Amino acid sequence: SQQGEEDPQALSIQEGENATMNCSYKTSINNLQWYRQNSGRGLVHLILIRSNEREKHSGRLRVTLDTSKKSSSLLITASRAADTASYFCATGVGGGTSYGKLTFGQGTILTVHP
């Protein structure tokens, strides 16, 4: 079953604009990760934020996490056509043998027009 919901399901922007994607989840988590998937290919890890962190940056990416609202957002600044892809949030729960198992959302399809 899917842990979270992502919003919007699809996002279309012009090159140079910022893109914001949101993710909500249901259960307590140890960490939340964002992955990118180009059409028909495997997933590429973008960034990981732990449950005791509130914000993290990596290059043009900024991730926030609000554990009280069980939500996260991914901001891509100054988008490029090459950023066109599907973006997934995934949650990891701590404890026992489930440590490391990821539960993915349904994804946001981002299209960046040149």
Residues that bind another protein (CB under 8 A): 1-2, 30-31, 33, 35, 40-45, 48, 88, 90, 92, 97-107
**CA dihedral sign, ordered 113, 71, 67, 69:** positive
Which residue, 18 or 45, is less far from another protein as judged by CB? Answer: 45
Our CB check for another protein shows the closer of 79 and 91 to be 91
Q: How far, rounded to the nearest angstrom, does the alpha carbon of residue 60 sit from its chain's CA centroid?
A: 14
User: DSSP H helical segments within the chain, as ranges?
Assistant: none
| Distance of closest approach, residue 113 Cβ to another protein, in angstroms | 22
Sign of CA dihedral 109, 87, 53, 32: positive
Sign of CA dihedral 110, 62, 5, 7: negative
| CB of 86 vs another protein, minimal distance in Å | 9
Q: Name which of 63 and 105 has its Cβ closer to another protein.
A: 105
CB of 28 to another protein, least distance (A): 15
Whichever of 31 and 79 has its CB closer to another protein, that residue is 31
**In terms of Cα–Cα distance, which of 24, 55, 34, 32 is closest to 110?**
34
